[in-house]
Structure 1
């Protein structure tokens, strides 16, 4: 259980060897403390070496530093530098243990900067024009000279019910839900019906008429947050605000303070370039720009006139690329892997060069998430960004003889959960004017290797649903959900609400309710 007043994380909680990057001069610490969990500490204490020792960190990835930065928090990566591809170089198993995969995700000692709360988004909230227009008209009609505006009947009833049931209101404000999206609320662009039911209830269609805090935490990526929330709002038939929404690459906006010229990889068309621009990156290159400059760099690519016309070529033999950002799934493995490999063995990120010591001169590479599988509209989960990364690691090791050091964001990485805490507290302020982290947080997910293991290690209550990746028995054997396994998201959320608010809590609002009778008359279960 996650307590707002719980102790903050300390280096010793994870490993005595971890060296947290020092705060930059003048950099205020985050206002929120984050909960230590015994399982997280224990999980990473021995690294993933057979002898229980951490691997050498002599050639670890350089930690980005920005003395003038005031808008980011640096979270140390808690992974050994051994690459996931190591097991493939000697044993070509197609299904390595999920446990081993997550134990070797990040370069030990690297830092994952995340944005500091409050989140200063350049993206506006999702609104429904017809509803907003109706509210404006109603407001005009209710204006009476010298008199207060007329309140809608429901608002009066809700206020009275909440006054009468203040104890339940307090409990409702002390819980929050964190939803994975794909496989929990939707399958691609197709609604899971229980997803709409849940959001209707959490957005006020309940006994108290109260909005119960909830955010969305997905390893999905590839679009600007506003475009994704608008899409989700239409599918779920409920408003989804950008300020309660975290994609796998959302925390990577913090990296704009550390790197100037970056290669951004993945996604459809140029949508990830648009994402990077909104995050504040100054000089953004995508693979199409490089192919337009020199088509021979990708010998198997058929480059169309339309792609050439939309690209931004220049002489990349004179450009130093500071870092590689894989924001989303690659749409062209051959081209993207070739260009990334060229940069990883280059001299300080300059194409057309080969470094004398590619390890020490290697530029950093960041991945927005590490999921191997992702639920889609296809009946079986499809390979995701993690598969691309493992393939790249195998290529790099075969080419250089050393493991590729890299940093991976997304679930189940600690930085993603710290950032989620910041967003939950900020969203609590928006809903209820209380900028704090509720004590009872429930993670609803379908992937045991990311949603559940991350939530468990962070001290959240975890609920595993059977509408996505997980199709197993009573619970996942390696990463069991600590609150339970449920048929769908509705069953998970209502079970959590009953635990926190009582078995008598009703999951639908009724305008016939009579506050004089303590809000119980005609309430519908």
Structure 2
């Protein structure tokens, strides 16, 4: 499962013409196949009409002019072959290679209501839907300090759009950690795999391992709060003699993660199935978070020396960045899970 995997359930956008931003084989990613555990076969992820940033800049070569070497040598009329993205949507998979190109063309599409070849005569607001995946501001690579992630690209896009229009960029959905919709989708996959393996008892406890307190740990703790709220609501309904499905029927829900638009979608199943009791967060010290660099004493929490690196649409709750456990690396985290479950790793 990747940050964009939950896009499969956003079926209302699958037949639209979508502009996708990212790097690598974004068309293949948007149209990729997945294994449907219910149908026992390969099904389409969903997006059927994909336009890439490269396709857009080739159709409208006068839009991308920051790099003088990429400017057209002569005036080229816009292509008539590219379908307008008017009334359609923009999907942001991850950080692109040429930020200036993607930022310029995405803003062009938003300002012109999907017709980037037209002049901007007035602000179209609300703009066409935007779905963003992967909100991590920073990520750890081989360098000694974290690198910019897609969350940083979103900060740039939001700032540019706000500066030009005076309006906040609106997201139809925010997908990926720490959004609850991502963890609900992961729970669905775990449940389907358990059923495929013939397990008769539901999974009771989940463990989320990560190196980023602001994304991995925040999201896991947020999902744990979500589980507790659902169980509390279910208990109250049962006490009143109602059905568990009344808690939030058919698995439609408003996210409890304080994000304005993390997405309200059908994840699958209903609340009649038993949700996990808890989701514990395990922080490893080999990535964004480094225990030695933080120089924290055992009495200090992970968050005392931090500012919020989460997305704009999430309210900062410092307690949610405090992990259930802190271990050195993923191997130690896996051993911890086995210990918590009373099993041996060997």
TM-score by length of 1: 0.45
Q: After the TM superposition, which residues 221-370 of structure 1 pair with which residues of structure 2 at under 5 Å, given as runs?
A: 246-258=1-13, 259-268=15-24, 271-278=25-32, 279-301=45-67, 302-303=69-70, 314-316=80-82, 318=84, 320=86, 322-346=88-112, 348-353=113-118, 354=120, 356-360=122-126, 362-370=127-135
RMSD of the alignment, in Å? 2.3
2:111 & 2:170 partners in 1: Cα distance?
Answer: 13
Higher relative contact order (CA 8 A, sep 6+): 1
Is the 2:282–2:325 contact (alpha carbons within 8 Å) kept by the matching residues of 1?
yes
2:71 & 2:196 partners in 1: Cα distance?
Answer: 47
Instruction: Give the equivalent residue in structure 2 for 1:92.
Output: none
Does residue 1:507 correspond to 2:272, yes or no?
Answer: no
**Alignment partner of 1:490 out of 320, 331, 344:** 331
Instruction: Give the equivalent residue in structure 1 for 2:42.
Output: none
Q: After the TM superposition, which residues 444-523 of structure 1 pair with which residues of structure 2 at under 5 Å, given as runs?
A: 444-459=209-224, 460-471=279-290, 472=294, 473=296, 474=298, 475-477=301-303, 478=318, 479-501=320-342, 505-508=343-346
Is the 2:88–2:128 contact (alpha carbons within 8 Å) kept by the matching residues of 1?
yes
Is the 1:317–1:350 contact (alpha carbons within 8 Å) kept by the matching residues of 2?
no
C-alpha distance 456-385 of structure 1, shift in aligned 2 (>3 A): same
Does residue 1:442 correspond to 2:280, yes or no?
Answer: no
C-alpha distance 318-385 of structure 1, shift in aligned 2 (>3 A): closer
Is the 1:466–1:486 contact (alpha carbons within 8 Å) kept by the matching residues of 2?
yes
Which stretches in structure 1 are left out of the alignment for 5+ residues?
A: 1-245, 306-312, 509-525
C-alpha distance 421-490 of structure 1, shift in aligned 2 (>3 A): same
2:31 & 2:200 partners in 1: Cα distance?
Answer: 29
Which stretches in structure 2 are left out of the alignment for 5+ residues?
A: 33-44, 73-78, 225-278, 304-317
C-alpha distance 358-468 of structure 1, shift in aligned 2 (>3 A): same
**Aligned-partner SS, 1:325:** strand
Measured after TM superposition, the shift of residue 447 of structure 1 is 0.6
Larger radius of gyration: 1
2:202 & 2:144 partners in 1: Cα distance?
Answer: 37
Q: 1:28-83 CA distances to partner (integer Å, 9 max, x unpaired)?
A: xxxxxxxxxxxxxxxxxxxxxxxxxxxxxxxxxxxxxxxxxxxxxxxxxxxxxxxx
1:447 & 1:376 partners in 2: Cα distance?
Answer: 13
2:321 & 2:136 partners in 1: Cα distance?
Answer: 18
Instruction: Give the equivalent residue in structure 1 for 2:183.
Output: 417
**Alignment partner of 2:165 out of 400, 415, 422:** 400
Measured after TM superposition, the shift of residue 280 of structure 1 is 2.5
C-alpha distance 328-435 of structure 1, shift in aligned 2 (>3 A): farther
2:192 & 2:219 partners in 1: Cα distance?
Answer: 21
C-alpha distance 304-276 of structure 1, shift in aligned 2 (>3 A): farther
* Number of aligned residue pairs: 248
Measured after TM superposition, the shift of residue 436 of structure 1 is 5.9
